[in-house]
Amino acid sequence: MKTKLLYVLVSSEKDIYLEQAYISISSARYHMPDVHITVLIDRITELSLTLDRRDKLKSASEIVVVDLPEGLTGQQRSRVLKTSCRKYVSGDFLFVDCDTVIVRPLYEIDNFPNVLAACRDSHSAFSENPYRSMCINHCKKLGFDVSQEEFYFNSGVILARDTVEVHEFYDRWAKNWEEGRQKGIFMDQPSFAKTNAELNHIISILPDIWNCQIIHGIKYIKDANIVHYLCTSPTKKGDKQIFALRDKWRVEQIKGTGIIPKDITNCFDDPFYGFPDCVHVLSGKNIEICQSFAFKFLEKYNGSAVYTCFNSLFKLLYLAPRVLNRMILKLKNG
């Protein structure tokens, strides 16, 4: 594979980003022993790579260290590296977020004809994107009207050739992100979209199998090359996430041992091993409901007295029209 794999890592002993990168890099090596893997880190992260932490990056072909301005948070340092990585890495690369699993060889990427490419965010046209309102609001703060864009791209996997136009894109993306940071927009996708529009929509569509976003991409899992499980979350006792690696404790257990358990390595061959036995699939308007504050509220307090109280209230509101209609019909019929 001539195209490099590129990871951007900003981490400390207090988080699990290194462990996420370790899992993803291990899955890449499993399928492609000869692939060149570059890990781009900042100086603060390098200083944290002591003993067993550094061992988790021993499968990388090279580690590139960048000195960044002081005063940035870890999240901000990660975004600075991500939006400016083109100037630190030579050759064509496929950037891959750390919260991913490579599930088959990626050699075909060498033959992709375009210089810059990414997958559709949420595997949908922007008009159907469940996060559309949020994206519009963020881009508005950047002085960019994204509402008429046909596609909004996910920046979790990006193919970037080593060309003049791609270097120009990254230079402008870094500038747009920094301007957004000054306005409180720390996500990199709004500035990614703005830069794409400014440069005459240079980003090509990468087939969905290259960045199968697990929450919305079930259609593409069977043929996926890269599964993007989208971070991790604390899991309530006795509960399960939709995908094994979204359970934070599963990643944390690798910290001390450095051993990736078999239930995770099984996902390197078949991502369906990462799903629990019972999964409820949603689509259409039901996805919007899952993004609502009402749903997030009930999800947060599930199992508590607060949940029971509000669920009973919602049940009453749901049943009230039916009861009222029956009463009216009864009165009409004497």
Q: What is the pLDDT of residue 237?
A: 63
Q: Identify whether residues 72 and 203 lie together within a single domain.
A: yes
Residue 155 lies in a domain: yes
Q: Does 35 have pLDDT greater than 80?
A: yes
Residue 117 lies in a domain: yes
Q: Identify whether residues 175 and 304 lie together within a single domain.
A: no
Q: What is the pLDDT of residue 109?
A: 98
Q: Which residues contact 177 (CB under 8 A, 6 or more apart)?
A: 79, 80, 83, 188, 191
pLDDT digits (tens, 9 = 90+) for 52-95: 899 999 999 999 999 999 999 999 999 999 999 999 999 999 99
* Range 261-265, long-range pairs (CB < 8 A, 24+ positions): 264/23, 265/26, 265/30
- Residue with the bigger pLDDT between 51 and 211: it is 211
Q: Identify whether residues 165 and 73 lie together within a single domain.
A: yes
Q: Identify whether residues 83 and 198 lie together within a single domain.
A: yes
How far is it, in rounded angstroms, from Cα 93 to Cα 293?
39
Residue 224 lies in a domain: no
Residue 226 lies in a domain: no
Q: Identify whether residues 79 and 200 lie together within a single domain.
A: yes
Domain coverage including residue 43: 4-213
Q: Identify whether residues 180 and 81 lie together within a single domain.
A: yes
Tokens found for residue 30? 């499993």
E strand spans, the chain = 4-9, 37-42, 62-66, 93-96, 100-102, 116-120, 153-160, 204-205, 212-213, 226-228
pTM: 0.88
Q: Identify whether residues 188 and 325 lie together within a single domain.
A: no
Residue 259 lies in a domain: no
Q: What average pLDDT does this structure show over 5-34? A: 97
Residue 128 lies in a domain: yes
Q: Which residues contact 123 (CB under 8 A, 6 or more apart)?
A: 208, 213, 216, 217, 219, 220
pLDDT band at 238 (very low <50, low <70, confident <90, very high): low
Domain finish residue from 180, 213, 246: 213
Q: What is the pLDDT of residue 54?
A: 94
Q: Identify whether residues 310 and 205 lie together within a single domain.
A: no
Residue 268 lies in a domain: no
Tokens found for residue 174? 């870094």
Q: In what order do the strands lie in the sheet with 100-102?
A: 100-102, 226-228, 212-213
What is the average pLDDT score of the chain? 91
- Domain CATH number, residue 170: 3.90.550.10
Residue 139 lies in a domain: yes
Domain finish residue from 160, 181, 213: 213
How far is it, in rounded angstroms, from Cα 215 to Cα 271?
13
Q: Identify whether residues 193 and 44 lie together within a single domain.
A: yes
CB 157 within 8 A of CB 210: yes
Percent of the chain with pLDDT over 70: 97
Q: What is the pLDDT of residue 83?
A: 98
Q: Identify whether residues 31 and 123 lie together within a single domain.
A: yes
Q: What average pLDDT does this structure show over 259-264? A: 94
> What domain count does the chain have?
2
Domain finish residue from 196, 213, 230: 213
